[in-house]
Amino acid sequence: MPKYFWSHAAAWTCHIPNRCRTLSVKEITPQEAWSKIKPSIDHLRVWGCLAHTHVPKQGRSKFDERSTLCIFIGIYSNTKAYRLFDVKGEKLVISRDVVFEEDKHWEWETGHKQQIENELEWNDTSAEAEVTEQPFEDDKPDFDDQFGNNEENSNDSISNGGNSAGSSNSNGGTTESTSSTEHNTISSNKDSPIQRRTHRAPRWMEDYITGEGLSSDEVNMVQDMGEEDPFVYEEAAKHEKWRTAMNNEMESIKKNKTWTLTTLLKGSKIIGVKWIYKTKRDEAGNVIKWKARLVAKGYSQKHGIDFNEVFAPVAGLDTIRMIIGLAAQKGWKLFQLDVKSAFLQGELDEEVFVAQSQGYTVKGKEDQVYKLHKALYGLKQAPRAWYNRIENHFVKENFKKCNSEQTLFTKRSKEGKIIIVSVYVDDLIYTGDDEKLIEEFKMSMLRDST
């Protein structure tokens, strides 16, 4: 079991004895002695068992699975729901709609760890249980930790592959040194899975960033990550750092004149809002900031009523590479600009009403709603509204848009100097050969974003 889950296991270990009779407390449980309320045990499940949580219609298409495979790791007392770990998405899930398989457990050694390591491998691993990988003799010393040496256990794992969803199985039969013995082993098992050769990256590429998953240090950092982000407002409100983050978000919305408190028009629809919390970290895992974002529940919007156009172009990787390569070739400085609360800058053409947020309801006006003048994160049309806003800014500043790349803008001075800007959602990357043009662009963005 990864260290990340130890705290959840310890919490569950304390949860159960508190609801059982002990010698120190007669006739009642410790929980009842403390709270004066008889606790329920209907929610108790086998810790670490497999669970299937329901995926609501708003979060899936017709062809998506209606449930997600998870691991039961505890309960979430604030909302009386179960705390689960999504083995495919590798994230925590809080849900009440859960079906448990208490007789089945996740194989920690070959499951969770293997999923992360698979991202580091250079082979094309088949997702089907009947196809397995077996290293050849020249590769075996480097892969002893990933393949077992017990042929019988390996075959059992393959036959039971459908019962242990998410775990990776490998045929770890012992490979003999002579070709004749190896031939006899293969021919005697005609029904055995197809064997493939495992390929590794050459040693000369070890010093290069390949993009093939995470490094071992990063894997350990992810597994050992400490405090988890809150899921609901009630939990976040208990901590000063999250209250400060929410205050900053509300101040940003107010400063940007995003909405106006008003009475809901007859026949109009209210869109709900919720808080999303995220701890931002640097490459070493150190906390940079605690971010709270107020988002609209855009999944409840209907096309033609709450929004019209939603498409917003995003810079392609070829465009980004071209700008970086050009800057390197010409010796130009390369800059990156992150527009704070970018989606809050986009102006809306539709009439949209959202509910007041938890913790920030105006006293005496609890029945009123906010009419949006600008977009909120989560709205279907938010990316489109932001792109229209930034495009209008470039046009006003005499930039020219590339005909074949809608996110690429250029501007030339009278002397023939140039500045090149590319838009990637709310991030801008730009370069050029004129410091004056670059400084003017920075100042114009600062004026237009405040």
Asked if the model's pLDDT at residue 106 lies above 70, the reply is yes
What's residue 168's pLDDT?
Answer: 44
For CATH 2.30.30, the residue range(s) in the chain are 3-105
Alpha-carbon torsion (114, 117, 119, 120), positive or negative: negative
What's residue 133's pLDDT?
Answer: 42
Instruction: Report, in angstroms and rounded to the nearest whole number, the Rg of the chain calculated over CA atoms.
Output: 28
Q: How many C-beta atoms lie closer than 10 Å to residue 343's C-beta?
A: 23
CA 396 to the chain's CA centroid: 36
Asked if the model's pLDDT at residue 329 lies above 90, the reply is yes
Reported confidence tier of residue 216, pLDDT bands at 50, 70, 90: low
What's residue 194's pLDDT?
Answer: 52
Output the six-digit token pair for 202.
């050459």
What's residue 401's pLDDT?
Answer: 92
Task: Please tell me the distance from the alpha carbon of residue 277 to that of residue 290, in angstroms, as a whole number.
Answer: 8
pLDDT > 70: percent of the chain: 69
What's residue 248's pLDDT?
Answer: 92
Reported confidence tier of residue 292, pLDDT bands at 50, 70, 90: very high
What's residue 422's pLDDT?
Answer: 93
Asked if the model's pLDDT at residue 240 lies above 90, the reply is yes
Q: Please state the rounded mean pLDDT for residues 410-419.
A: 92
Q: Alpha carbon of 119 to those of 1, 90, 144, 176: distances in Å?
A: 19, 13, 18, 29
Output the six-digit token pair for 21.
């009779």
Measure the CA angle with vertex 179, ends 173 and 184; round to 5°.
60
Output the six-digit token pair for 398.
């005499």
Closest CA to 296 of 271, 259, 260: 271
Closest CA to 87 of 196, 2, 194, 213: 2
What's residue 28's pLDDT?
Answer: 84
Q: For the chain, how long is the longest CA-to-CA vector?
A: 91
Tens digit of each residue's pLDDT (9 = 90 or more) over 339-351: 877 777 788 888 8
Asked if the model's pLDDT at residue 134 lies above 50, the reply is no
- Mean pLDDT value across the chain: 75
Compute the CA torsion angle 153, 154, 160, 166 (nearest 10 deg). 120
Reported confidence tier of residue 260, pLDDT bands at 50, 70, 90: very high
What string of H, E and C letters represents the secondary structure of the chain? CCHHHHHHHHHHHHHCHHHCCCCCCCCCCHHHHHHCCCCCCCCCCCCCEEEEEECCHHHCCCCCCCEEEEEEEEEECCCCEEEEEECCCCEEEEECCEEEEEEEECCCCCCHHHHHHHCCCCCCCCCCCCCCCCCCCCCHHHHCCCCCCCHHHHHHHHHCHHHCCCCCCCCCCCCCCCHHHHHHHHHHCCCCCCCCCCCCCCHHHCCCCCCCCCCHHHHHHHHCCCCCCCCCHHHHCCCHHHHHHHHHHHHHHHHCCCEEEECCCCCCCEECEEEEEEEEECCCCCEEEEEEEEEECHHHCCECCCECCCCCCCCCHHHHHHHHHHHHHHCCCEEEEECCCHHHHCECCCCCEECCCCCCCCCCCCCCEEEECECCECCCCHHHHHHHHHHHHHHHCCCEECCCCCCEEEEECCCCCEEEEEEECCEEEEEECCHHHHHHHHHHHHHHCC
Task: Please tell me the distance from the alpha carbon of residue 132 to that of residue 149, in angstroms, as a whole number.
Answer: 15
69-83, 161-175, 350-364 — which is least confidently predicted? 161-175
Q: How many C-beta atoms lie closer than 10 Å to residue 64's C-beta?
A: 11
Q: Please state the rounded mean pLDDT for residues 87-101.
A: 87
Task: Please tell me the distance from the alpha carbon of residue 28 to that of residue 32, in angstroms, as a whole number.
Answer: 6
Q: 3-105, what's its fold?
A: SH3 type barrels. (2.30.30)
The model's pTM: 0.46
Reported confidence tier of residue 300, pLDDT bands at 50, 70, 90: low
Contact (CB, 8 A) for 323 and 332: no
Task: Please tell me the distance from the alpha carbon of residue 224 to that of residue 231, in angstroms, as a whole number.
Answer: 20
Q: Please state the rounded mean pLDDT for residues 187-194.
A: 47
Asked if the model's pLDDT at residue 368 lies above 70, the reply is yes
